[in-house]
Amino acid sequence: MYEKYITITAKHGIHTRPAALLVKAAKSFNCDVIVECNGKQASAKSLFKLQTLGLYQGVEVKVFATGKQAQEAVESVLTLLKTLS
């Protein structure tokens, strides 16, 4: 398992459009990618589940993955989250 933390800096948080980009990025990896926020977890490959997490500006998020491409997947998702600010 590989994990990292990031604080959401996007002014409007991670709403539908950026969440869809995150899902697309996560689906390109052959591993399970999970986003955790405020004690709730969701697959980064599910747009609906991501939207239930409350990914607002200023919240800390843990992104972790298990599987063959875990590190690459987490780094890719974090890079995307950083660019959405």
pLDDT at 36 (0 to 100)? 98
Distance CA 21, CA 56 (A): 16
Q: Mean pLDDT in the chain?
A: 96
Please give the pLDDT value at position 84.
Answer: 81
pLDDT band, very low/low/confident/very high, at 21 (cuts 50, 70, 90): very high
CATH of the domain at 12: 3.30.1340.10
**DSSP label of 59:** -
User: For position 85, what pLDDT does the model report?
Assistant: 61
- Could you tell me the residue range of the domain that residue 35 belongs to? 2-83
Which of the residues are catalytic? 15
pTM metric for this prediction: 0.93
In the chain, the number of structural domains is 1
Q: Round to whole Å and give the CA distance between 78 and 62.
A: 10
